[in-house]
Amino acid sequence: MNIDSETLQKIAHLARLELDASHEGQMKKDLEEILEWVDKLNELDTDGIEPLTNMSFEVNSLREDKVTEPLSQERGLRNAPDKEGDYFKVPKVLE
Amino acid sequence: MITKEERAKYDVVVGLEVHAQLMTESKIFSGDGNAFGSQPNTNISTISLGHPGVMPKLNKKAVELAIRMGLACNCKITRFGYFDRKNYFYPDLPKGYQMTQDKTPICVGGYVPIQGVKSQDKVTLNRIHLEEDAGKSIHVDGQPDSLIDLNRAGVPLIEIVTEPEIFSSEAAGAFLTEVRRLVRYLNVCDGNMEEGSLRCDANVSVKLKGETKLGKKVEVKNMNSIKNVMKAIDHEVQRQIHLLEKGESIVSETRTFNPDTGRTSGMRTKEELNDYRYFPEPDLSPLQVSDEWLEDIRSNMPELPSEMKERFKEQYGLNEYDASSMTDQRDLAYFFDAICGITGNYKKAANWLMGPIKSYINEHDMTFSNFPIQPAALASIIALIDEGKISYTAASQQLLPYLFENPLEDAADAAHKLNIWQESDSGSIQSIVDEILASNEDKVKQYRNGKKGLIGMFMGELMKKSKGKVDPQMANKLLRESLDAQ
């Protein structure tokens, strides 16, 4: 399976990764290898088999609606790259 | 902007997406509190902050509330489903994906009956699904940064998605009014659009009459009241017809509504590409709704407004109009029901609520939920009037305002304090009657000779002497008896 430059850049953009032109060749090759490998699965006959959505056979692993001790604001903000007062601070996003 | 003739050439097609925050104690996938108005970043956990390696777990109550809404909207309940990841980057979405139900929404189809719109009597639903809310971004003008509050991240939501089968802004308004009433009756959501616990996006398009293909749709966001949703749709319809009539085409885009100008404007988006790459959520177990669970949810449903209305007609003998009025808002309906549990005079209870109490609430910008007077106090006011202890006028104009200020005081005590207690003890009224008759011998003679109209004059004297504090019915009766007794 071939990946063109446009698809490559689209995937990079969706993952918010910066991919400069000098790395495109290698990345393209790596991705194609991965896809080729995954493609092998298509050789299996999966007719009549339900898609697997979860690795466990458990269903309804639910919790009761109870409030537990929250993470303190101080601990919550501790690992943030940047903060201001009560808030996390991020580069401006405009809608 | 456009002429009547131009407008008449087009049909309007609207689909709505309504997000309702569920009234749970905790969040949808973690135990941090679900509360509005807390100090920023205090209702948080490693799960709602999206820390690596944490495992979310679905809140059972959130599922039950979503099913409750689905049952009320005549939906089919999905008996086996799973969540999906919707991938996109935005700073108020810490994980980089939203956990939602894309392929297997918890409720499918259904409809909501609407009232007061000529052209349609219901709105068909596509689905209701469960998902998590995102945090809040705060953009300060002129600042290079944005601030993030993650208290809202992970708050449970249902998204109610209609089919594109709403054909006017009035129908959209009627639908939202009914949805808000339903979520409130069902204790699913507090329905507060200003605080954002109930939010609505509208997909609006127009097409030439007779055309079967839908026009290009425009999504409008940021309407914080039902009125504004209607205004936004009306403006959008005008704008789109105007463009088409000029020979231009509609751009499929997201626009934001400005409540100050009543207009919509295009939103600047960095992310033009909507590619959410949904896939099944591997961190949550599938959800199975058994017959027993569904039956349990169904049997624990609070009364629906339509059910309550029928019960009010049957149990309290209300007519259609009164029963409708009494069930118009949830808190009013429960208030009325509580009064009727005490008083036997149901019709008067309804009249009091629709009359003096409603005007007081409107004047003071209140709702029935924060109304200070207890149902029992109102029931005793009604009883006092029925027993002739106070007059309706005194009760509505003096006692009621007094009790608003002093809601804990006993109604009868308050009536005494206000000096509006009517004399209905026949002995004391009789003595006043005797006095009046004695000092008006001429008039008494004229009355007894057939000038019956004089009764009005006697009543007037009686009220004057008693300073209006006698039960008029009792007084009238005693007066007639004394005059007629030769």
Q: Is the pLDDT score of B353 beyond 70?
A: yes
Per residue in B59-77, pLDDT tens? 999 999 999 999 999 999 9
Of A86-95, B53-62, B394-403, which one has max mean pLDDT? B53-62
A64-72 mean pLDDT: 95
Tell me what pLDDT residue B476 has. 84
Tell me what pLDDT residue B424 has. 65
Q: Is B272 on the interface with A (CB under 8 A)?
A: no
Measured distance CA(B220)–CA(B266) in Å, rounded: 9
| Residue A20 belongs to a domain | yes
B146-153 mean pLDDT: 96
- Model confidence band, residue B473 (pLDDT cutoffs 50, 70, 90): confident
Tell me what pLDDT residue B444 has. 87
CB B82 within 8 A of CB B108: no
**Among A66-80, B18-32, B405-419, where is mean pLDDT lowest?**
B405-419
- Are the beta carbons of A95 and B146 separated by less than 8 Å? no
Range of the domain at A29: 5-41
Tell me, yes or no, whether B355 and B449 share the same domain: no
Q: What is the CATH number of the domain that holds A12?
A: 1.10.20
Tell me, yes or no, whether B412 and B435 share the same domain: no
Q: Is B46 on the interface with A (CB under 8 A)?
A: yes
**Among A38-52, B21-35, B137-151, B411-425, where is mean pLDDT lowest?**
B411-425
Tell me, yes or no, whether B325 and B363 share the same domain: yes
Average pLDDT along chain B:
92
The DSSP 8-state label assigned to residue B303 in this structure reads P
Q: What is the CATH number of the domain that holds B445?
A: 1.10.10.410
Q: Is the pLDDT score of B359 beyond 60?
A: yes
B365-379 mean pLDDT: 87
* φ, ψ dihedrals at B41, nearest 5°: 55, 45
- Model confidence band, residue B367 (pLDDT cutoffs 50, 70, 90): confident
Q: Is B43 on the interface with A (CB under 8 A)?
A: yes
Tell me, yes or no, whether B41 and B140 share the same domain: yes
Measured distance CA(B156)–CA(B25) in Å, rounded: 10
Task: Say whether B123 sits in a helix, a strand or coil.
Answer: strand
Strand partners, B107: B77, B128
Residues 6+ apart with CB under 8 A from A31: A3, A8, A11
Q: ipTM of this model?
A: 0.90
Tell me, yes or no, whether B391 and B438 share the same domain: no
Q: Is the pLDDT score of A94 beyond 70?
A: no
Question: Is-above-0.90 flag for pTM?
Answer: no
| Residue A65 belongs to a domain | no
| Residue B130 belongs to a domain | yes
Tell me what pLDDT residue B270 has. 45
Q: Is B28 on the interface with A (CB under 8 A)?
A: no
| Residue A78 belongs to a domain | no
Residue to test with chain A: of B54, B145, B256, most A Cβ within 10 A: B145
Tell me, yes or no, whether B283 and B343 share the same domain: no
Task: Say whether B187 sits in a helix, a strand or coil.
Answer: coil
B134-153 mean pLDDT: 92
Measured distance CA(A52)–CA(B276) in Å, rounded: 20
Chain B residues 186-245 within an 8 A CB cutoff of chain A: none
CB B149 within 8 A of CB B136: yes
Contacts with B269 from chain A: Cβ below 8 Å: 95
Provide the terminal-to-terminal Cα distance of chain A, rounded to the nearest Å.
37
- Model confidence band, residue B459 (pLDDT cutoffs 50, 70, 90): confident
Measured distance CA(B133)–CA(B149) in Å, rounded: 12
CB A55 within 8 A of CB B111: no
What is the domain count for chain B?
Answer: 3
Range of the domain at B409: 303-417
Per residue in B203-248, pLDDT tens? 999 999 999 999 999 999 989 999 999 999 999 999 999 999 999 9
Residues 6+ apart with CB under 8 A from A33: none
| Residue A77 belongs to a domain | no
| Residue B68 belongs to a domain | yes
| Residue B189 belongs to a domain | yes
Tell me, yes or no, whether B284 and B307 share the same domain: no
Measured distance CA(B259)–CA(B223) in Å, rounded: 7
Tell me what pLDDT residue B267 has. 79
Q: Is the pLDDT score of B10 beyond 80?
A: yes
B365, exposed or middle or buried, with CB in 10 Å at 0-12, 13-18, 19+? exposed
| Residue B296 belongs to a domain | no
Higher pLDDT, B480 or B67: B67
Contacts with A10 from chain B: Cβ below 8 Å: 273, 275
Per residue in B39-59, pLDDT tens? 999 999 999 999 999 999 999
Q: Is B424 on the interface with A (CB under 8 A)?
A: no
Residues 6+ apart with CB under 8 A from B10: B206, B207, B208, B209, B237, B241, B244
Q: Is the pLDDT score of B123 beyond 60?
A: yes
Higher pLDDT, B90 or A67: A67
Tell me what pLDDT residue A59 has. 92
- Model confidence band, residue B272 (pLDDT cutoffs 50, 70, 90): low
Per residue in B11-49, pLDDT tens? 999 999 999 999 999 999 999 999 999 999 999 999 999
What is the domain count for chain A?
Answer: 1
Read off the tokens for B288: 């199975």
Tell me what pLDDT residue B486 has. 62
The sign of the torsion formed by the CA atoms of B290, B296, B299, B302 equals negative
Please tell me the total number of residues recorded for chain B in this structure. 486
Residues 6+ apart with CB under 8 A from B5: none
Tell me, yes or no, whether B479 and B432 share the same domain: yes
Measured distance CA(B59)–CA(B64) in Å, rounded: 9
- Out of A62, A85, A92, the one facing B144 most closely (by C-beta) is A92
Per residue in A36-56, pLDDT tens? 999 998 899 989 988 888 888
Q: Torsion-angle region of residue A10: left (phi > 0), alpha (psi -120 to 50) or beta?
A: alpha
